[in-house]
Structure 1
Amino acid sequence: MVSYLFLSSSSILFWCSFFLVLLFMTTTNALVKLPENTTIPAVIVFGDSIVDAGNNDDMITEARCDYPPYGIDFDGGVPTGRFSNGKVPTDILAEELGLKPSIPAYRDPNLKPEDLLTGVTFASGGAGYVPLTTQIAGGIPLPKQLKYFEEYIEKLNDMVGEERTKFILKNSMFVIICGSNDIANDFFGLPSVRLQYTVDSFTALMAENARSFAMSLYGYGARRILMFGAPPIGCVPSQRTVAGGPTRDCVVRFNDASKLFNAKLSGNLDILSRTLLDSTLVYVDIYSPLLDLIVNPRQYGFKVSNLGCCGTGLIEVTALCNNYTSAVCPIRSDYVFWDSFHPTETAYRIIVAKLLDRYLSKII
């Protein structure tokens, strides 16, 4: 007990930072009104490029974007490794909840200790539920993301003690967004995979691996878990270009695979939620709100929904979207998609608002 009375200079610096974070959390006006006595101390994120904030930046992989014009509308116009022109969905979620302006990458070398208290993202561009998917892209597979999460828990224990760490894990919002790469790059991208699996058996494998991942998080102490389904992957610009024919229509078989996976994931989570005590497992439908933006762009103030803002908008993503070969549309808010695979910040803000309206009451 006496040791707590004699603090090193580094300990004093940490506790000062800690109390500043608490002050920030209690004085920031959240845009989302939470019920009284509801506490969400952090947003903790796993998945793929939709919610990566730079975890791939020091890796030898095509699944990285730490260069202009990515980040053109982020704070200071800095490319951080986010696969968008600005913020990604979990940044906006943290902002709406009043936690902090954005969720940093866990592997960011400039990550501050106090950032751990309010949430980080372990997500990696190219990741998927099926191991082969991540191998193709050279990203960080979900099991490795969990290893980093174990490190995170150890750091929290060292910083705030075991009890506070358990509180953070129990009450935080865990967000998992994955599956697009499995469908687009793995199943439909590799003929060898389609020789081994049918679309039914492949999406069953995806859903089972997603269920196992949720169980792993529960084992670490997570209780509020949101698992996003797959988007209408056949309607993103690059897939329309590759497989949509001369008129670049939405690719029905790709969308059907997304819907099949979503049904299986939703069913798995329903069963799991009845098994895991004191847990809130929520399946989040991302398919419908994004499809609505794509099909009815003008209803939301968009002018273009079948092309990306970067370059021709037909195929440019990651390395093909760069300052040397690709012009950028001057008004990003006119576009649903930033590059040929990832939406703009404007689109993400509309989607997050829809999702909060639909799901927030289920997770608090």
Structure 2
Amino acid sequence: MTETPAARVEPIPDPALNVKELRQHALGRLRAGAFGQEMWDYLEGGSGDERSLAWNEEAWAAMRLAPHCLMGVDGIDTTTEVLGQRLSTPIGLSPAASHRIWHPDGELGVVGAAGEAGALYVQSTLGTTSMEDVAAAATAPVWFQLYVRRDRELTASLARRAAASGYTALVVTVDTPVLGARDTDRRRSVRLPKGMTFANLPALTPRKEDDLPAHRRVYVERLDPTLTWKDITWLAGLTDLPVVVKGVMRPDDASRAVDHGAAAVWVSNHGARNLDTVVPTAVALPAVAAEVGGRVPVLVDSGIRRGTDVLKALCLGADAVFVGRPYLWGLAAAGREGALAAIHMLDTELRMAMGLCGARELSALTPDLIWR
């Protein structure tokens, strides 16, 4: 088993009071390191003209709050339960590839931070640490994110390994059947640095898809464009783990997901990294939540940068809210302690916003707190 690197404690950059300030420290550290601007652009980039990348943040920020007053808000409580798992905060960590790119603490540092904060962590298939080592280091619930590959036996083996390792749900990403127009990545042919591998995957011989140059390629071996709803039912039958469908942006698709065995629906546009001009998740969430109608939990990510964003998402029907870039900024800035700082920053801001809106518990976060 790989030993967690948590013993090496790095100071949190000072001053850093919020995740956007962590972002600036991360930028400085990465630019000074071996990977430089190239990997920073990979972390920050979106698809096409990056309109949806901006809209994701703008949509949350544009919503105005309508707070109650004189509600007695001593003892604010952010504990919650998702798929039967008790959590200290409704703020979870979205799956993201290759944590060791940003800091040697990597996935083990992040799962350690999530455990200390009592937050839900979702491990990516494309991690640079094995799923078994990550699960062994976890002290809070962990889910495993799965891309369905053309090799269905490999896909099935990943699901079974996750179940055997102690993960408590499978998160199936369904919004990436083909490549998106990530221009920066296509221009630079971004790859893992020398010496790093995708630890959950065997060394595969790349299959030649066509005679096109890389920047014109739409299909790749690692993504299965034949994926359909029946495959959700297939995945749900592979193990006893509940299946979460990540990448749902429409109410009708949310219903289809539930009908085909999804235990939860995750509203996500992949951080605007795949399809540009797609609707921001803040706009899609209310209709999806209304369509699901409490049949299964509804989750959301993309563009969450403040505790007020988290509060708004919960008011609009989300049962949990996930972040990606913010905790990676923390990881890049200060390793495990930086990732923990990012969680604490958002959770503290959520508690502040709850108190100022007259809500002691998450159940008090209702749609009427959004100004119409």
Q: Does TM, normalized by the shorter one, top 0.5?
A: no
Larger relative helix fraction: 1
Q: What TM-score bracket applies, with the shorter chain setting the length?
A: 0.3 to 0.5
Determine which structure has greater relative contact order: mean sequence separation of CA pairs < 8 Å that are 6+ residues apart, divided by chain length.
Answer: 2
